[in-house]
Amino acid sequence: MKRFWQACTLGLLILLPLSSQASRQITDQTGRQVTIPDRVDRIVVLQHQTLNLLVQMNATDKIVGVMANWKQQL
Which pLDDT score, from 0 to 100, does residue 26 have? 87
CATH superfamily of 2-73: Nitrogenase molybdenum iron protein domain (3.40.50.1980)
What does the pLDDT look like over 18-53, one tens digit per residue?
555 678 888 988 899 988 888 888 988 887 788 888
Would you state the torsion angle of the CA atoms of residues 31, 34, 39, 44, taken in this order, to the nearest 10 degrees? -80
On the CB side of 18, how many CA atoms lie within 13 Å of its CA? 5
**Would you list the domain boundaries of the chain?**
2-73
8 Å CB contact between 50 and 74? no
Q: Residues 60-72: what's their mean pLDDT?
A: 83
Which pLDDT score, from 0 to 100, does residue 61 have? 93
Higher-confidence position of 48 and 63: 63
Which pLDDT score, from 0 to 100, does residue 7 have? 62
Angle at 22 between CA 42 and CA 26, to 5 degrees: 75
